[in-house]
Amino acid sequence: MTTRSKTTAAALAATGLLLAACGSGSGQAGTPSFEGRGPITYVAGKDTTGTVQPMLDRWNKAHPKEKVTFIQLPTDADAQRQQMIQNAETKSDAYTVLSLDAVWTSEFAAHRWIDRLPEERFPLEKMLKPVVETSRYRGDLYAVPGSSDGGMLYYRTDLLKKAGVSEPPATWAALKSACAKVKKLPEAKNMSCYAGQFQKYEGLTVNFAEAVHSAGGQVTDASGRPNVDTPQARKGLDFLTGSFKDGTIPEQAVTYQEEDGRQAFQAGKLIFLRNWPYVYSLAQKSAIKGKFAVAPLPGLDGPGSSSLGGHNMAVSSSAENKATALDFIKFMTSEENTRTLLRDASAAPPYASLYDDRALVEKYPYLPVLKESILRAVPRPRVVQYGDVTSAVQQEAYAALTGEKSSAQALKDLQKTLRKAVAR
């Protein structure tokens, strides 16, 4: 490997040529040339909704010489990342187009596992800005948004109305006072107020970042440096720890992942729930059908900001037939196909226009709220060592939530660990 990178460097210096095709990528030397046409593969997590294959069939019909094969990885995001890394580390050409979780972009770009993409080839200006940001590394485009996701506040319309609360809460204080009013109702006697995802896993990083951002703080600044030991961040974390202490969040919520919270909400145990859009259609089929609605996440002084989810498409740097890959990404991330993904798999599209489409809004009444949520969203830390950063966040936030440490101490320790992790 050493000799190869040496020769690469020598060749670069001597001739100034872009050695994009040699597999290891040329990094700082500009956009690689996307050459070669022929069969490619599309690699993503298991498609449980059955929407992807029909899309590929349409592409294959139109491009008989550039057939795309669908490689389905496990549903578990960690397992997907691991397999993609293995493929990249062995410089295999088995994977061409990768569907990356939005938080992996920096890591994959920094390792040169994926190629820098030509921006002018994609209609990025039509997409929501925070979503496009998740596909950049150091200002350069390394992926194209295929779908997005934002957190929303689910709430019980029937109970709020009965308690005389006319509007969903926009601030944490309003949320607590609405709860106090609802709790006075006889039917809400055994209910808890609010829950999110607080088990020690990626969901906690999402919820912690939301609390910090919604209070005006930040986890890492624009250039990726940790900046979490601030009074604002502390107010955010204090909202969570305080809510656990005063019972706003039920004690068992510290074990909740997405599904636990959804089940509790559907079983009528929660008045408010922070969750992703996928919950909407499932809750419509449950006992609380027609009794709930969504609102943007509340914050300290006004509406809060969500963390972003979603998937971006990138080209594996060790792949072949990259010209086809680029066309295929364009096809998959087209407005038409993301509309299909929204319709059949309820994946949030990256395009702004789809959120205002009347037919779609009629079918998915949460779309306007979701758009607002995404527009106000802040991505999770965009750092190369995301794995270390997220485990540090989980470690310290969890210690604060379970009362093992004070918020101040947890944030101080987190700042220290993050600084070490990012410097690595």
Binding site for another protein (CB under 8 A): 1-2, 4-5, 24, 27-28, 78, 81-82, 85, 109-112, 137-138, 199-201, 251-252, 254-255, 260, 384-385, 387-388, 391, 394-395, 398, 402, 404, 424
**Shortest gap between Cβ of 343 and another protein (angstroms)?**
32
Between 57 and 251, name the residue whose CB sits nearer to another protein: 251
**Shortest gap between Cβ of 220 and another protein (angstroms)?**
15
**Shortest gap between Cβ of 44 and another protein (angstroms)?**
19
Between 56 and 315, name the residue whose CB sits nearer to another protein: 315
Q: What's the angle, vertex CA 372, arms to CA 366 and CA 375, rounded to 5?
A: 135
Between 27 and 368, name the residue whose CB sits nearer to another protein: 27
**Shortest gap between Cβ of 13 and another protein (angstroms)?**
15
- The answer to whether 328 and 34 are in contact (CB under 8 A) is no
**Shortest gap between Cβ of 113 and another protein (angstroms)?**
9
**Shortest gap between Cβ of 231 and another protein (angstroms)?**
28
- Cα–Cα distance for residue pair 143/249, rounded to 1 Å: 38
Between 300 and 383, name the residue whose CB sits nearer to another protein: 383
Residues with Cβ within 8 Å of 240's Cβ and at least 6 positions away in sequence, in order, are 198, 207, 208, 211, 249, 397, 400, 401
Between 24 and 60, name the residue whose CB sits nearer to another protein: 24
3-state secondary structure of 405: coil
User: What sign results for the dihedral spanned by CA atoms 109, 111, 115, 116?
Assistant: positive
- The answer to whether 218 and 407 are in contact (CB under 8 A) is no
**Shortest gap between Cβ of 259 and another protein (angstroms)?**
11
Between 43 and 342, name the residue whose CB sits nearer to another protein: 43
Tell me which amino acid residue 133 is. Answer: E
Please report which residue ranges of 149-289 form alpha helices under DSSP H: 157-162, 172-183, 202-214, 231-246, 258-266, 278-284
DSSP letter, residue 51: -
Between 287 and 359, name the residue whose CB sits nearer to another protein: 287
**Shortest gap between Cβ of 184 and another protein (angstroms)?**
25
3-state secondary structure of 302: coil
| Residue reference for tokens 């966040």 | 393
User: Which secondary structure element, helix H or strand E, spans residue 399, and what is its range?
Assistant: helix 386-401
**Shortest gap between Cβ of 105 and another protein (angstroms)?**
12
- Cα–Cα distance for residue pair 236/242, rounded to 1 Å: 10
For the record, the structure tokens of 340 come out as 């299909």
- Cα–Cα distance for residue pair 179/400, rounded to 1 Å: 23
Tell me which amino acid residue 327 is. Answer: D
Between 201 and 331, name the residue whose CB sits nearer to another protein: 201
User: Which secondary structure element, helix H or strand E, spans residue 292, and what is its range?
Assistant: strand 292-295
- Cα–Cα distance for residue pair 161/307, rounded to 1 Å: 29
Q: How far is CA 100 from the centre of its chain?
A: 10
Pairing of strands 270-275, 40-45: unpaired
Between 227 and 417, name the residue whose CB sits nearer to another protein: 417
Between 136 and 213, name the residue whose CB sits nearer to another protein: 136
**Shortest gap between Cβ of 193 and another protein (angstroms)?**
16
Q: How many residues does the chain have?
A: 424
